[in-house]
């Protein structure tokens, strides 16, 4: 139960950092591709935030070397890429259908929520598998 609540809390924190970064990026940059730039920046900030929280508090995963850290972050990023497609689909889909920033952010929240549920299972079974902790041969 505790892990589930922490995961939801960390998903919320990551969502806020993601959407906040998008908002700030769009406020600072209004040129060509501002929307795409804001989504890319927000996604990057959200992924790093969630990785640091999940690794330490959800999966209690310890890396033993920089190589192991890079490999784990790489796997986490790949798993994030899979679920980011869901998130972006909802975010851009809502913007396309309804045409407002409110719809875009609502779609983003829905997409992130669905993506985080899927991501938990991907990370539990692939990224942070117990038999991978501290494995130097990666």
Angle made by CA atoms 48, 51, 52, in degrees to the nearest 5 = 90
- Structure confidence by residue, pLDDT tens digits, 20-64: 999 999 999 999 999 999 999 998 999 899 999 999 999 999 988
d(CA 111, CA 134) in angstroms, rounded, equals 33
Q: Which domain holds residue 93?
A: 2-128
Tokens of 24: 């700030």
pLDDT at 134 over 80: no
Q: Does residue 135 form part of some domain? A: no
Q: Does residue 136 form part of some domain? A: no
Angle made by CA atoms 26, 32, 34, in degrees to the nearest 5 = 20
Q: What is the SS3 string spanning 86-109?
A: HHHHHHHHHHHHHCCHHHHHHHHH
pTM of the model as a whole = 0.77
Contact 79, 122 (CB under 8 A): yes
Tokens of 50: 């969630």
Q: How many domains does the chain have?
A: 1
- Structure confidence by residue, pLDDT tens digits, 74-91: 999 899 888 889 988 999
């Amino acid at each position: 139960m505790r892990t589930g609540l922490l995961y939801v809390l960390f998903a919320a924190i990551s969502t806020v950092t993601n959407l906040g970064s998008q908002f700030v990026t769009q406020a600072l940059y209004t040129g060509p591709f501002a929307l795409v730039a804001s989504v890319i920046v927000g996604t990057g900030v959200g992924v790093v935030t969630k990785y640091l929280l999940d690794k330490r508090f959800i999966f209690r995963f310890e890396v033993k070397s920089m190589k192991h850290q890079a490999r784990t972050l790489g796997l986490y990023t790949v798993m994030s890429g899979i679920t980011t497609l869901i998130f972006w689909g909802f975010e851009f889909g809502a913007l396309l259908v309804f045409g407002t920033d409110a719809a875009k952010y609502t779609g983003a929240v829905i997409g992130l929520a669905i993506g985080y549920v899927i991501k938990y299972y991907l990370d539990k079974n692939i990224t942070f598998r117990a038999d991978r902790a501290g494995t130097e041969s990666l």
